[in-house]
Amino acid sequence: GFSLMESAQLTAKPHGDYAAIPPNTRVKLNKILFTPSFRIAMISAQSEMIGDLGKLITREKRKIPATKKKGIDGKDYYIPNVKSKKYMKAMARMIAGLAGSLLIQETVMHKLGFKTDKWGLKYVKEIDIEGERKELVVHIANPANVFLRYYHRIKGLLEYDDPDKYLALLNRAKWDFHPLYQLAQELISNRGVDFDPIWHPDDEPWKIWRDIGVYSLKRIVRMLEVVPGMEKEVGK
């Protein structure tokens, strides 16, 4: 069987091993990114699955370094960073599970009448609403398609024939950043989440600052959007 450590790792990694990310690293990343721990944990786990599969295929042999650990007594000690072949096989087999879950997802969505827009991630279907044809878009984000999300994002950028393609990438990637950075980007571009202007250049300075202040307050304290009088669109 597996060792206790390997058993724990095989259980934790596919579900997001937060403990593998040092607390100090999480604190620093949370100042820049928006809840990045799960994505980092899943990307790390899936990278390990792919890596272990590659090692088993190529039968890579290398000297395994020791890992520095700090004991309860505060002293440093070293343990070999060894993974048994059985553990590596188990991690490699998880790739088949990930691929299988995405294939099942594709099959189910097609059976429901959807067409694939972005493989493993986004699906579209035309529906009839009160006699008018509308397009229903379903975006399925799950642990199995973490890599696919970034692949489709980069692929879309490369295919985007526009001089402002890097601005388009920033707009797509802004949701990965801390909300305060999102707000700063929106204020600089003068475009709210609904793509309407936040403030109008022809307004008096005090009105511009008022609109910026109200919009910023609503973005930071989202509950204000349901307060009577605050739901009015800023600048209109």
Q: What is the token pair recorded at 233?
A: 């669109």
pLDDT at 196: 86
- In eight-state DSSP terms, residue 39 is H
- 120 Ramachandran zone, left/alpha/beta (phi>0; psi -120 to 50): left
For residue 138, the SS3 value is strand
pLDDT at 81: 53
pLDDT at 102: 92
For residue 61, the SS3 value is coil
pLDDT at 153: 79
Domain boundaries, the chain: 4-98, 178-236
Euclidean distance between CA atoms 157 and 154, whole angstroms: 5
pLDDT along the chain (236 residues), means of 10: 75 76 76 73 81 71 56 62 70 84 94 94 91 91 84 76 62 69 82 84 89 85 56 44
pLDDT at 154: 77
pLDDT at 8: 79
Taking a C-beta distance cutoff of 8 angstroms, is the pair 137, 124 a contact?
Answer: yes
